[in-house]
A and B are shown apart, each in its own frame.
Chain A
Amino acid sequence: MNVLPIPLELFWIWPGIALFTGAAGLAIAAATPGTAQRALDRGVLGLFAAALGLLAVGIAVRWTRLGHGPFLSLFEILVSSLVTLGVGYALAWWRLPSIRRSAAIVLPLLAVMAVWLLVASPADTHFPPTYETSVLWFHVLFGKLFLACALVALGLAGVVIARMQPRFAASFSRMPADAALDRLAWRFMRIALVFESLMLVAGAVWAQDAWGRYWAWDPLETWAFVTWLALVGALHARLTYRLAPRAGALCIVIVFVLAFLTFFGVPFVSTAPHKGAI
């Protein structure tokens, strides 16, 4: 019987996944009233940082082995997004101590993505020549920054929504009031809009050079554009109708779900991020 060798990077990524789920569990525990929250917070930070470090090393090992970055398969997109989203959220966590309890919302989501990695194929990928352009780096970077901003906003929106349930209200009682969280979340969403717009522009430049058209309604283009429309629409609706924090939080969740489908749903159902375009 032939046994395929296990890619080296998995020896770093698998422990990273375990630590990610551990950090998510501790974050939920830390949000439970009556627990030793300060100690648990330190535990969350330690596990989270170690998980990010292990995944980053895993990416570096794979990059060195294959000779190209993690841009192609669902496995590569998931693992690179885990690191960039994790770093983005960690920065917000560090700079805005009052939002730290939102880790109980954000880290479980990242943990689900981490567990998803276990069933995504880590098979080696072929780097198409059309990907050998510096524009790709900008396109991907802007996309990651967009999703990281939306993730922080999602965490705050999740807190607002969770507090609608009395049993969760106590867990997030030390966080700012709904109105303040709403304002902060939408600040992140506005910054997310800038990065998503830049992602679309860079993507169009890349598509023109790579495939001879700047726009062709391929699955990723379509979903990314609909996400942009939803985000711009939500921003207009919030300003015009002065949406209450709970309604605003629901809008953020909807936009994030669309963005999540764009980033991970399309690669899940197609062979490449831009299906058929390589």
Chain B
Amino acid sequence: MRSPLASVGSTPVTLAVFALLAAGTFVTYGDERAPTWVTAAPLALIALNLAAAIATSRRLRRGGLAVFHVALLALIVVAGFGRMTHLSGRVEIAQGQVFDATAVDIAAQGSWHGAPFAGVRFAQGPWTVDYAPGVKRAHTRSAVVTVTAEGESSKHTVGDDTPLVLAGYRFYTTHNKGFAPIVTWHPAAGPPVTGALNLPSFPLFDWRQENRFTPAGGPEIRVFLDIASPLTETAAWTLDPSAVAARLVVHAEGQRAELLPGATLPVAGGTLTYERLTGWIGYRIYYDPTLPWLFALAVIAVAGLAWHIARSELAECRDVIAPARPERTCA
């Protein structure tokens, strides 16, 4: 009689959990908000099935089959650990600003992830994005300066498929970026405050380059960026915010003013100075300490499978394929 462990590791159970996983896969595919357990539960069942099969089947403990199945089991376990410790999120950072962990919009975080962004310190430098004709995004180059805990700084250029990697966190540039006018608010009383006004993503929202804010002790101020040159659609060009000629159109208390860099506008409660035009850039953040392990295990699993199949092929070469026209299949 088959033992309970052998039953758990049997092929019918394998096929059943495969079907469950395929169903879970399609549910996740059809609805991005589907709960994680839809795929996690079948994967856990596959891990159980695999472990039981390895424990009870002598065939799965020999040669390439053993390597494949054990590596596959380890892959599922490590991937599960990765999900528990991972973090994904987004952040926008303007040129000249220092990375601020509180500004990160965390999309997902494993419950075993500790205090996020410990040891992540960098300042955003200038960036450029190339465009091919038809406003098709090409290369992104983003300059950043990282600072170690000892205070040593170093410059990096990241973009496209080269992320900034700090303390295990991987920062990828995205299509999301735009202009960030730097303004200083001089209140009637108190020290001046300088900050960046991130305008909507450019050129995605080139027709809506506006923002509004209310400085301390001042009225609500609406700003609009009036770019001198229209968007080029027929030729290649490079987006470099600091090289773009533009005027900052300011609306406050019913009055309208057009400011060039360095210009000042007095309003109730203080004075607004348009310092210069820079850009902000959006990063996608990903943290998963298991990435190298996942890769290694996947390669080992495939190597085990290839080893098993190669051995089987050598055995098959002794067979004869065609009774009508005998010939060897592995010449």
**Interface set of A (CB-CB < 8 Å, partner B):** 95-98, 126, 128-130, 132-133, 174-177, 180, 183-184, 187, 190-191, 193-194, 197-198, 201, 204-205, 208-214, 217, 219, 222, 225-226, 229-230, 232-233, 236-237, 239-240
Contact of A229 (CB < 8 Å), options: B21, B301, B312 = B21
Chain A contact surface mostly: helix
For the complex, give the distance between the alpha carbons of A212 and B295 in Å. 15
Q: Which A residues are CB-close (under 8 A) to B95?
A: none
Q: Are A222 and B25 in contact (CB under 8 A)?
A: yes
Interface size for B (C-beta < 8 A) is: 53
Query: Which B residues are closer than 8 A to A by beta carbons?
Result: 11-12, 14-15, 18-19, 21-22, 25-26, 28-29, 32, 88, 132, 134, 136-140, 159-163, 170, 172, 284-286, 291, 294-295, 298-299, 301-302, 305-306, 309, 312-313, 316, 319, 321-325, 327, 329, 331
- Nearest-neighbour CB distance to chain B for A185, whole angstroms, equals 11
Tell me if A240 and B321 are in contact (CB < 8 A). no
B319 CB contacts on chain A under 8 angstroms:
183
Report how far A120 CA is from B84 CA in the complex, Å: 44
Residues of B contacting A222 in the complex (Cβ-Cβ under 8 angstroms): 25-26, 28-29
CA distance A98 to B323 in the complex (A): 10
Which of A133, A177, A184, A240 makes the CB contact (< 8 A) with B329? A184
Does the CB pair A194–B305 fall under 8 Å? Answer: yes
Q: Across the interface, do B298 and A129 meet the contact criterion of CB distance under 8 Å? A: no
A97 contacts B140, C-beta separation under 8 Å: no
Task: Please determine whether B161 and A129 come into contact, CB atoms closer than 8 angstroms.
Answer: yes
Contact A198 B313 (CB under 8 A): no
**Contact residues in B for A219 (Cβ distance below 8 Å):** 29
> Looking at the complex, which one of A126, A197, A212, A240 makes contact with B12 (CB distance below 8 Å)?
A240
Across the interface, do B160 and A129 meet the contact criterion of CB distance under 8 Å?
A: yes
Interface centre among A98, A129, A132, A226 (most CB of B within 10 A): A129
Separation of A223 and B141 alpha carbons in the complex (Å): 33
Beta-carbon contact of A129 and B321 below 8 Å:
no
Contact status of A217 and B29, CB under 8 A, knowing A176-B321, A177-B323 = yes
Given contacts A130-B161, A208-B291, contact A237 B132 (CB under 8 A): no
Cβ contacts under 8 Å, B313 to chain A: 187
Do the beta carbons of B295 and A205 come within 8 Å of each other?
Answer: yes
A130 CA / B174 CA spacing, docked (Å): 11
**Closest 4 pairs between A and B when the two form their complex, measured CB to CB:** A212-B172, A240-B11, A209-B161, A129-B160
In the complex, which of the residues A95, A214, A232 has the most CB atoms of chain B within 10 Å of its own CB atom?
A214
Task: Say which residue of B14, B22, B294 sits within 8 Å of A236 (CB atoms).
Answer: B14
